[in-house]
């Protein structure tokens, strides 16, 4: 029996909730990955705004962002045109990239998210963190399933390392491109481009 006025009970509820959210994300990732492998990756496209996808993902990660006292800086161009995309799948991709930026960030770190219209009739999104960074020789590996780059330093970082593989699969299924720049100890920046 839960007593809402008991802070210990509320904490238990909160940790159950965040475990469920993590589990939900993992299931979505596994499903998406298995669909991508079977090449029957169906996209249910509609006109969507990238800023909605970003704010939705941020609200889902709000608890983790607050817990690590991370400062999120949004730099989203006004009046961005809509893109044709599968909202639920693109949401998973953006959520995974942001989750990564939170998970590998330092306490009190910064996440910068920018979205702008590029000349090539496309929208570019950059997600930067001030986290632990990824060594150059490992950059290729990060998209292979179940990799978490340096297991020693990532023990505290929960997750399976599936997220980036899934993000890449989804963005490429939309005929988009994803690239990563990273500096050890300085942080990482993921950039993806999708056609309008």
d(CA 167, CA 104): 16
Ranges of beta strands (E only) in the chain are 46-48, 71-76, 83-85, 110-118, 122-129, 177-183, 187-195
Global pTM value: 0.83
d(CA 10, CA 22): 18
Q: Are 127 and 190 in contact (CB under 8 A)?
A: yes
Residue 7 in 3-state DSSP?
Answer: helix
Q: Are 111 and 189 in contact (CB under 8 A)?
A: no
d(CA 62, CA 17): 13
Q: For the chain, 196 residues long, give each residue's pLDDT as a single digit of tens.
A: 667 788 888 888 878 877 887 788 888 888 877 776 656 678 999 999 999 999 999 999 998 999 999 999 999 999 999 999 999 999 999 999 999 999 989 999 999 999 999 988 999 999 999 998 888 777 777 777 655 544 444 444 455 567 888 899 899 999 999 999 998 889 999 999 999 8
Shortest CA distance to 74 belongs to which of 106, 99, 110, 25? 110
Shortest CA distance to 90 belongs to which of 40, 56, 137? 56
Q: Are 110 and 129 in contact (CB under 8 A)?
A: yes
């Amino acid at each position: 029996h839960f007593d809402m006025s008991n802070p210990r009970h509320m904490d238990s509820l909160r940790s159950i909730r965040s475990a469920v959210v993590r589990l939900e994300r993992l299931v979505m990732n596994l499903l998406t990955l298995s669909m991508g492998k079977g090449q029957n990756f169906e996209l249910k496209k509609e006109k969507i705004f990238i800023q909605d996808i970003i704010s939705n993902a941020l609200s889902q990660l709000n608890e983790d962002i607050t817990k690590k006292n991370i400062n999120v800086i949004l730099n989203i161009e006004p009046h961005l045109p809509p893109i044709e995309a599968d909202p639920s799948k693109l949401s998973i991709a953006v959520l995974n990239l942001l989750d990564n930026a939170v998970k590998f960030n330092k306490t009190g770190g910064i996440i910068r998210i920018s979205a702008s219209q590029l000349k090539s009739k496309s929208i570019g999104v950059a997600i930067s963190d001030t986290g632990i960074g990824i060594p150059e020789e490992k950059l290729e590996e990060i998209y292979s399933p179940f990799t978490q780059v340096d297991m020693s330093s990532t023990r505290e970082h929960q997750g399976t390392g599936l997220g980036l593989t899934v993000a890449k699969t989804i963005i490429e299924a939309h005929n988009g491109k994803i690239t990563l720049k990273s500096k050890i100890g300085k942080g990482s920046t993921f950039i993806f481009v999708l056609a309008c």
